[in-house]
Amino acid sequence: MWGRHHDEVVGVIDVGSNTVRLLVARGRREVLSEREMLRLGAEVEQFGRISDAKLTQTALVVGRLARDARAAGVVALEILITSPGRQAENGDELVRRLAAAGDCHARVLSAVEEGELAFAGAVEAADPPARRSVAVVDVGGGSAQVVVGTRRDGPAWSQSIDIGSQRLTNRFFESDPPGEDAMRAAAEEVDRYLTGFDSPVPRVAYAVGGSARAVRQLAAAQLDGRALGDVVELVTSAPSSELVDRYGVDPDRARTIAAGAVILTALQERLATPLKVVRAGVREGAVIELGARRAAA
């Protein structure tokens, strides 16, 4: 599915605001995929830092995933930390603890790097025409990235928005379901973060990440303005338990899906292009990059 550049088994552990995920792949073939929901971003939003207990828990999870990756035959493994590493006061400590736990290199991705990896993973999976202008939208738990470019030339424009589904949930959605007032306030908050957002209008737009996949489960079609409007209306009044039971939403995602829908709606409006959900993003892009580096060494 991914990576035309290598045929070695490589792995990436992606530490995000909501989840910690492992992807092991050989060329285009996925060998192993695992995840655990830890919600690091909730602590960062509430306290500005990650507690020692949560650092320990995360290190234990990363250590287990690293062992699983090696058992699957990886010849190279990296730990990539997204918004928790950028936003937490003790992000450096998180990097040190996870590098030791995984016994491999760990680094914090800049917002630009995160967006570019999501772009690489999405266009590799979707395979649009080489010169077609493409936007990739990645709504994470702590931030959102938008990158516009082409498959042939790569990214040409990018912007990071320092708000994601977990952070927005913590700020506005105390009730389940959130209700109209909270949804309106959340939308106004996202609009403030998007002041000055002026991306090129793409021919096609892809949405990646857990929020997009969860929202897609509630939509009857691709995520255009009408479909997203219907989703926003639904999640405003439907409790998360109904989203799980009736629509099959992952219970770990149900609580933050309203926030994800608000952010995706705002970004889709500004891109003026329907969003096609692609099941590939940062991790797949990172596997491509890691394999390419090894092939060039």
State yes or no: pLDDT of 4 exceeds 70: no
Confidence band of 41 (pLDDT split at 50, 70, 90): confident
Q: What is the CATH code of the structural domain delimited by 126-277?
A: 3.30.420.150
- At residue 139, the pLDDT reads 94
- At residue 279, the pLDDT reads 86
- Domain positions in the chain are 9-111+282-296, 126-277
pLDDT, the chain, mean = 91
Which strands sit side by side in the sheet containing 134-139, from one edge to the other? 154-161, 144-150, 134-139, 204-208, 275-277
- The answer to whether the CB of 295 falls within 8 A of the CB of 130 is no
Confidence band of 6 (pLDDT split at 50, 70, 90): low
- At residue 141, the pLDDT reads 87
- At residue 3, the pLDDT reads 44
State yes or no: pLDDT of 220 exceeds 80: no
Q: Mean pLDDT across the stretch 121-146?
A: 92
| Helix 180-193 vs helix 225-237: crossing angle, to nearest 10 | 130
- 106 strand-pairing partners: 79
- The answer to whether the CB of 148 falls within 8 A of the CB of 155 is yes
pLDDT digits (tens, 9 = 90+) for 248-294: 888 888 889 999 999 999 999 999 999 999 988 899 998 888 888 87
- At residue 297, the pLDDT reads 66
- The answer to whether the CB of 138 falls within 8 A of the CB of 18 is no
Q: Which CATH class is domain 9-111+282-296?
A: alpha beta
State yes or no: pLDDT of 229 exceeds 70: yes
pTM: 0.89
- At residue 142, the pLDDT reads 86
State yes or no: pLDDT of 94 exceeds 70: yes
| Same fold flag, 9-111+282-296 and 126-277 | yes
- At residue 252, the pLDDT reads 83
- The answer to whether the CB of 244 falls within 8 A of the CB of 274 is no
